[in-house]
Amino acid sequence: MPVSSQRGDARPVPNQLLADLSRRLECLSVSGADLFSATLTVPELDGVLLPPSLPDLWSWLRPGDGLALIASGTAFEKVCSGPEALDEALRGLDWTHLDLDESGGEPVAFLGHGFGGPDPSGLPPALLRVPRLMLRNYKGRCDLVFSHAGVATADELHALWIKEAERLLDALGRPVPPASPVNLIRLNEMPSPDTFRRRVRTATDSIAAGRVEKIVLSRRITVAAPRLFRPERLVRELAARHPSCAIFTVGFGGRTLVAASPERLVACTGRQVDSYALAGTAPSDPADPFLGGRLLSGAKDRHEHRLVVGWISSVFNELCDNVQVPSEPRLMILGQLEHLWTPIAGTLKPGAGFLQAAQALHPTPAVAGLPLAEARTLLDELGESRSGWYTGAFGWVDRTGDGEMAVVLRCALLDGDRAEVAAGAGIVAASDPESEFTETELKLRTMLDTLRSA
Residues within the interface to ligand ISJ (CB under 6 A): 216, 263, 278-281, 339, 366-367, 409-410, 423-426, 443
Between 76 and 316, CB nearer to ligand ISJ = 316
Q: Does residue 261 contact residue 245 with C-beta atoms inside 8 Å? A: yes
CA–CA separation, 104 and 40 (whole Å): 10
Question: Closest distance between ligand ISJ and the C-beta of residue 277, in Å?
Answer: 8
Task: Please confirm, yes or no, whether 263 is among the known catalytic residues.
Answer: yes
Task: Please confirm, yes or no, whether 384 is among the known catalytic residues.
Answer: no
Question: Closest distance between ligand ISJ and the C-beta of residue 379, in Å?
Answer: 12
Measured from the Cβ of residue 273, the count of other Cβ atoms closer than 10 Å reads 26
Q: Which of 106, 164, 214, 436 is catalytic?
A: 214
Between 108 and 428, CB nearer to ligand ISJ = 428
Sign of the C-alpha dihedral computed for residues 302, 308, 309 and 314 taken in this order: positive
Question: Closest distance between ligand ISJ and the C-beta of residue 436, in Å?
Answer: 8
Question: Closest distance between ligand ISJ and the C-beta of residue 311, in Å?
Answer: 12
- CA distances for 226 relative to 71, 167, 450, angstroms: 29, 29, 15
Question: Closest distance between ligand ISJ and the C-beta of residue 121, in Å?
Answer: 16
Q: Which of 213, 232, 237, 263 is catalytic?
A: 263
Question: Closest distance between ligand ISJ and the C-beta of residue 284, in Å?
Answer: 13
Between 102 and 328, CB nearer to ligand ISJ = 328
Between 133 and 448, CB nearer to ligand ISJ = 448
Between 158 and 410, CB nearer to ligand ISJ = 410
Between 129 and 339, CB nearer to ligand ISJ = 339
Name residues whose C-beta falls within 8 Å of residue 345's C-beta, 6 or more positions apart in sequence. Answer: 272, 273, 274, 316, 323, 324
User: Shortest CA distance to 261 belongs to which of 328, 353, 196, 337?
Assistant: 337
340 class by beta-carbon count within 10 Å (0-12 exposed, 13-18 middle, 19+ buried): buried
What are the residues facing 36 on neighbouring strands?
A: 96, 148
- CA distances for 173 relative to 7, 9, 45, 233, 344, angstroms: 12, 8, 11, 15, 41
Between 232 and 263, CB nearer to ligand ISJ = 263
Q: Does residue 412 contact residue 121 with C-beta atoms inside 8 Å? A: no
Between 78 and 219, CB nearer to ligand ISJ = 219
CA–CA separation, 266 and 403 (whole Å): 8
What is the separation of C-alpha 363 from the centre of its chain, rounded to a whole number of angstroms? 14
Q: Does residue 98 contact residue 145 with C-beta atoms inside 8 Å? A: no
Q: Does residue 68 contact residue 49 with C-beta atoms inside 8 Å? A: yes
Q: Does residue 162 contact residue 22 with C-beta atoms inside 8 Å? A: yes
Question: Closest distance between ligand ISJ and the C-beta of residue 87, in Å?
Answer: 24
Question: Closest distance between ligand ISJ and the C-beta of residue 427, in Å?
Answer: 8
User: What is the helix (H) or strand (E) element at residue 375, kind and residue range?
Assistant: helix 372-382
Give phi and psi for 258, each to the nearest 5: -125, 135
Q: How far apart are the first and last CA of the chain?
A: 27
The number of CA neighbours under 13 Å toward the Cβ of 234 is 30
Q: Does residue 38 contact residue 102 with C-beta atoms inside 8 Å? A: no
CA–CA separation, 316 and 298 (whole Å): 27
Q: Could you give the residue numbers annotated as active site? A: 214, 263
